[in-house]
């Protein structure tokens, strides 16, 4: 298995992407026109519908309504977007909980500002029809070569899926690939399959002329839940409290729209580069609700324990639960919606 990459510095490509953030913002109607207000940059972990709620906030202009001129920049995964945040090049980043956990276990301090959606079934395991894997038999993954992005929720879901199947990560060969490369590698036969998003599964089906299959997910909810997060930094918390309050209000506005308008996927179809109907179907397994509860903290601890047991991270000194609880800044959410914070 590949070792977990470190987080501290941005690659040259990432720096170029951040430099283009203003250009990206001007290309889209939701990109935050320059005006009187607080300037901020949000680094996204891909352009997929995983970040639907934050994309809806952009489309509605709720950031600008709350006094924020938002620039956005897109990265392939939450791991890369978090690098931008940790390097001080962005005020916010989107990420699932898995990259957050790995960063925390490395002694870094990304701060969870908003836990805004979650799912158990959007991450898929897609396998080639020629791989000999039975999509209805999870244990048939044994001995196969499966691609994912190490240090992301794709890797964590794969591990929990194997646990559900009565296997361990040692029963497969994990190949660390970028999201685009893993679909190509599966279609080409370089790997037997991949663990990534439902959107990637749709792409693989199209590229392979239906030469791939999606593994059953029956019972997976008991083992796996992924949370979508808006992260910030200690520096932003200290220096820009008004920005944090505005961010929470902006996302609450998007949540209200999703709850009240079944046609909301049309708002982000261009941004996500997918038909609205496809977005609606894919996100039907999501829960879009901002808040912090005990299940969230329990899930963080469970992932951290998995990473440590798998040899991907060292156990930190002190109480693990207290460490992770200390990286959750619930103040702005509690101020806006007191009943949403029960952690």
pLDDT tens digits, residue range 192-241? Answer: 999 998 889 999 999 999 999 999 999 998 899 999 999 999 999 999 99
Per the CB < 8 A criterion, the answer to whether 190 and 200 are in contact is no
Model confidence at 34: pLDDT above 70: no
Q: Is residue 33 predicted with pLDDT exceeding 60?
A: no
Q: What is the pLDDT of residue 24?
A: 41
- The mean pLDDT of 125-153, rounded to a whole number, is 95
Task: State the chain's mean pLDDT as an integer.
Answer: 89
pLDDT at residue 36, rounded to an integer: 64
In the structure, what pLDDT confidence band is assigned to residue 310 with cuts at 50, 70 and 90? confident
| pLDDT at residue 15 in the model | 47
Question: How would residue 76 be classed by pLDDT, with cut points 50, 70 and 90?
Answer: confident
Query: pTM (2 decimals)?
Result: 0.80
pLDDT reported for residue 6: 54
Measuring CA to CA, how many Å separate 26 from each of 18, 196, 247, 290?
A: 14, 30, 20, 28
Alpha-carbon distance 25 to 41, whole Å? 10
Q: In this model, does residue 27 exceed pLDDT 90?
A: no
% of residues, the chain, pLDDT over 90? 76
Show the CA angle centred on residue 290, arms to residues 52 and 331, nearest 5°.
130
Q: How many CA atoms lie within 13 A of 132 on its CB side?
A: 7
pLDDT of residue 333: 98
Q: What digits encode the pLDDT tens for the residues 90-122?
A: 999 999 898 899 999 999 999 999 999 999 888
For the beta carbon of residue 289, count every other beta carbon within 10 angstroms: 16
Structure token digits, residue 166: 């009565």
Rg (CA), the chain: 19
* Confidence (pLDDT) at 251: 98
342: Cβ contacts below 8 Å, ≥ 6 apart: 291, 292, 293, 294
> Which domains can be identified in the chain, with CATH numbers?
12-119+225-340 (3.40.190.10), 123-222 (3.40.190.10)
- Residues paired with 39 in a beta bridge: 69
Using a 10 angstrom Cβ sphere, with 0-12 exposed, 13-18 middle and 19 or more buried, the burial of residue 107 is exposed
């Amino acid at each position: 298995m590949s070792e977990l990459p470190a987080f501290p510095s941005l690659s040259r490509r990432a720096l170029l992407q951040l430099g283009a953030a203003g250009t990206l913002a001007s290309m889209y109607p939701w990109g935050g026109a320059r005006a009187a207000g607080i300037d901020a940059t949000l680094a996204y972990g891909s352009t997929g519908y995983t970040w639907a709620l934050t994309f809806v906030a952009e489309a509605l202009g709720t950031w600008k309504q709350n006094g924020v001129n938002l620039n956005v920049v897109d990265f392939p995964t939450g791991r890369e977007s978090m690098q931008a945040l940790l390097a001080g090049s962005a005020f916010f980043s989107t990420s699932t909980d898995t990259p957050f956990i790995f960063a925390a276990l490395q002694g870094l301090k990304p701060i969870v500002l908003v836990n805004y959606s979650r799912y158990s079934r959007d991450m898929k395991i897609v396998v080639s029809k020629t791989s000999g894997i039975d999509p209805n038999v999870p244990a048939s993954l044994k001995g196969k070569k499966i691609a994912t992005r190490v240090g992301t929720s794709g890797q964590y879901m794969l591990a929990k899926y194997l646990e559900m199947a009565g296997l361990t990560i040692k029963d497969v060969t994990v190949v660390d690939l970028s999201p685009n490369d893993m679909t190509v590698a599966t279609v080409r036969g370089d790997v037997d399959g991949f663990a990534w998003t439902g959107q990637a599964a749709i792409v693989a089906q199209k590229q392979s002329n239906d030469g791939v299959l999606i593994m059953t997910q029956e019972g997976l909810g008991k083992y796996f839940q992924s949370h979508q997060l808006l992260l910030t930094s200690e520096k932003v918390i200290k220096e820009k409290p008004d920005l944090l309050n505005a961010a929470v209000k902006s996302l609450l506005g998007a949540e209200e729209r999703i709850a009240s308008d079944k046609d909301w996927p049309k708002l982000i179809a261009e941004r996500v580069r997918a038909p609205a109907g496809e977005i609606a179907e894919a996100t039907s397994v999501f829960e879009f609700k901002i808040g912090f509860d005990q299940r969230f903290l329990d899930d963080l601890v469970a992932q951290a324990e998995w990473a440590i047991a798998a040899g991907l991270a060292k156990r930190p000194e002190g109480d693990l639960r207290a460490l992770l609880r200390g990286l959750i800044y619930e103040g702005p959410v509690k101020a806006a919606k007191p009943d949403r914070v029960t952690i």
